[in-house]
Structures are given as structure tokens and as C-alpha cells.
Amino acid sequence: MDCIFCKIVRGDIPSFKVYEDEYTLVFMDIAKDVDGHMVAIPKKHVKCILDCDAETLARLMATVKKVANHCIDDCGYNGVNLLNASDESAGQSVPHFHIHIIPRKSGDSIDAWPKFDGANHEIEELFQKLRIRYIPI
């Protein structure tokens, strides 16, 4: 497979591994865009959350929580941003499911929240489209 993250998992491309277990890997992002930027991935190739099975997702989220807690409990950070883009339409640039973990300190002046131009539709209209109706079993 030609996936860059799969190559990192296999060891074909070197990385700074922050955490690794049988199912997941967290490594430093080499973009040099913000201090401490990490990427968490399942070792199993899955394109994005939209085609990720529940077990793989649960394992990845457990790893994300472990690393996030480590940032706070052991490394002197106050919080974390978790960022994900699923599908090219959402801005996903690497077609392997990943979650960016950005450790944060109070007053660090990092603005990791996207800037939106404002909604185009009424909230009630979107609520009717997006809500999931509970159907008892």
C-alpha cells in the first residue's frame, strides 16, 4: 500500500513515536506548525471515520484519551485540541483515518478553531434534516 501513514506503521518511514500499542500509533507531526502537534492513527488502514469499524474507532479514541491525559498529567499542559477531517470534501489530505492532538497551555495564543463565514440556513430547517429519530427495539 502506498499510504504514507501505513509506511510509518511498517517502519518504512521514520517517525517520532509518542505512543504505540498493538492497534494504534501516535507520532509527532512534522509540519512544524505548532509545538507538540501529534497525529494518532489506527494501524489498520481505514480511510476515515465514515468507514471505520466500531472496534478500531474505540481503540483509537482510547489511545487519544491516554495521550491527551498524559499531556495534562505529566507534561504541564492545560488542555488539548482534537482535530479531524473525514473525506476530501472536509479537507482530509491523507487518506488514512487520523486525529490531530494539539496540547494547549492557557494563554498560548493558538487559534485552532476554524473561522466560519456564518450559516446559510435556519437552524430549524437543518435540525429537521440532521436529527436522528430514536426507534425503540
| Residues acting as catalytic residues | 98
Q: What is the per-residue DSSP string for 9-68?
A: HHTSS---EEEE-SSEEEEE-TT-SSTT-EEEEESS--SSGGG--HHHHHHHHHHHHHHH
Q: Which residue(s) pair with 25 in the sheet?
A: 20, 41
